[in-house]
Structure 1
Amino acid sequence: MDAESGPTRRGEWWAGVRALAPMLLGVVPFGLIYGVLAVGAGMPAWLACAMSAIVFGGASQMILTQLWAAGTPAAIVATTVAMVNLRHALYSATIAPALAHLPRRWKALIAYLLTDEAFAAMTRRLGDDPVQRRYRHWYFFGAGFALWSSWQLSTLAGVLVGAQVPRHWPLDFFLPLTFIAIIVPGLKHRSHIAAAVTASVLAVLCFNVPHKLGLMAAALGGIAVGMLLLPRQSGPAGKERTA
């Protein structure tokens, strides 16, 4: 971006791509694992790739794959995936004021591309001055597109690799390991740890519940415990104490 001429569409788009690039180190392996697991679960290759384009959510797709393999009814699959994606409502509420002046096509595009990693990149530009705000939505677009394209390619690569992997290999073992690797670095506060421990215990206790409803019970239990502990740990400055 030229400091004298101000921001441009192209400059902002590439700035968004660069902001998201470091996060791809974690996204690409995750996409590969999803593609391998989806094929290993018996999902057609075209459907596994279509899910990455339509659902476009790593955690949701991993859980959906597990439920697919278990023969879970569609209604329960949809409900579980919707619960996992509830956090996107908070992301949308945070980003919405920055998009209020844009036409619907832009709002729809940014909403589609809004993921955990893209949200982290987008929030860096929410406090921009009026000059920077002019093409800020191009920054959002660049960040979201960088993640989207990488996710599609890594999923395709995983599907192609997964087609060569014998079905009897215990690929589903990598699913909990992947989630552990994603979640553990984010456990920075006591309420986070309590929520994770509660959800883990409930998931084990409810393992044999039909249709994988134990996952829903574990999620609700973890959220409830985390919310109950959060207010009690807020200090005078309104910030939660770390563990």
Structure 2
Amino acid sequence: MNAAPPSPSSPGAAEEFLGGVRAELPLLLGVMPFGLMFGVLGLAAGLPAWAVIAMSSVVFGGASQVVFAQLWGALTPPTVICTTVAVVNLRHALYSASVADWLRGLPWRWKLLLAYLLTDEAYAAALARFRDGPPGPQRHWFLFGIGFTLWLGWQLATIGGVLVGAAIPAGWSLDFSIALTFIALLVLAVHRRSELVAALVAGAVAIVAQPLPHKLWILLAAAAGIAAGLAARGLDRPRLAAEGAR
């Protein structure tokens, strides 16, 4: 995956950074409402405003933050909360492994920064740039531009959600919005047959395992979905072969 030596016309750091910003701006239309929702849900779950805002900076993972808020509101033991959030974020390790070859020569300070900023949206846009864009020594600035833009938008959206949530009466139940948010994300994320299998299996296990204490159904459903998706990867081969032949 290592690129060929860059040409004299390779994009510079500023050009790469601005390219990443431009690539991320349209995606903020979907990210900002999710950030607002988390700010509202965090307060509804009993988290103080400062903790909701700090979580968006420390964790910086929408799905895991919403899961944390839901489990916190249900008084789930800390061990279960930490384990569940870790399982939800396992996909980030796969993202890192996927782009590692393109970032291998960077110093550790850059690797740590980009690992922190490597979210779902940042990975998708950066992978397209690394694979199809011109080679160059400043390509990591593209990922930085994407990640920084998303990070800034996520912080502002969370703060907005906290401000909105503080004005919502305490008697209003917002639990239903968690399920609606994840359903919307799921519909947008499923592109392959194996992903559909994983989603269906995880959903079925989540329903069956509802009686388990401490919301352990989340962990069980996640593990079952991952296993089902891996087992069903063969269903994607015809489509992948067809895409490769184009």
Q: TM-score, normalised by structure 1?
A: 0.92
Quote how far apart the aligned CAs of 1:41 are: 0.9
Instruction: Tell me how many residue pairs correspond in the alignment.
Output: 237
2:154 corresponds to 1:158: no
One-letter code aligned to 1:222 = G
Deviations 1:41-94 (A, max 9, x none): 110000000100000000000000000001111111111011011111110011
Structure 2 vs 1, CA of residues 158 and 237 (structure 1 numbering), >3 Å: closer, same or farther?
Answer: closer
Contact 1:28 1:154 in 2 (8 A): yes
SS of the residue corresponding to residue 185 of structure 1 reads helix
**Alignment RMSD (CA, Å):** 2.0
Point out where structure 1 has 5 or more consecutive residues left out of the alignment.
Answer: none
Report deviation, 1:107: 0.5
State which of 193, 198, 202 in structure 2 corresponds to 1:195.
198
Is contact 1:40-1:165 (8 Å) kept? Answer: no
Instruction: State the identity %.
Output: 51
| 3-state SS, counterpart of residue 238 of structure 2 | coil
Taking the aligned partners of 2:200 and 2:82, their CA distance within structure 1 comes to: 25
Deviation track 1:92-151 (CA, whole Å, cap 9, x = no partner) reads: 01111111111111111100000000001111221367x742211111110000000000
> Hey, what's the Cα distance between the residues in 1 that align with 2:10 and 2:196?
44
Candidates 77, 80, 89, aligned match of 2:93? 89
1:45 to 2:34 alignment: no
1:73 maps to 77
Does residue 216 (structure 1) correspond to residue 219 (structure 2)? The answer is: yes
Which of 134, 138, 143 is the aligned partner of 1:135?
A: 138
Structure 1 CA distance for aligned equivalents of residues 61 and 138 of structure 2: 26
After TM superposition, the structure 1 stretch with the greater mean CA deviation from structure 2, 50-59 or 166-175, is: 166-175
SS in 1 for 2:168: coil
Separation in 2, partners of 1:220, 1:86? 11
Give the TM-score normalised by the residue count of structure 2.
0.91
Match of residue 207 from structure 1 = 210
1:182 to 2:185 alignment = yes
* Residue 103 to residue 42, structure 1, CA distance change in 2 (3 Å): same
**217 and 185 in structure 1: CA distance in 2 versus 1, 3 angstrom threshold:** same
Select the residue among 142, 147, 164 that pairs with 1:144: 147
**Structure 2 counterpart of 1:160, which letter?**
L
| CA deviation after TM superposition for structure 1 residue 218, in Å | 0.8
Query: What code does the residue aligned with 2:50 have?
Result: W
The residue matched to 2:131 in structure 1 has which SS? coil
SS in 2 for 1:127: helix
Please state how far the C-alpha of 1:195 moved relative to its aligned partner: 1.5
Q: Which residue of 1 aligns with 2:172?
A: 169
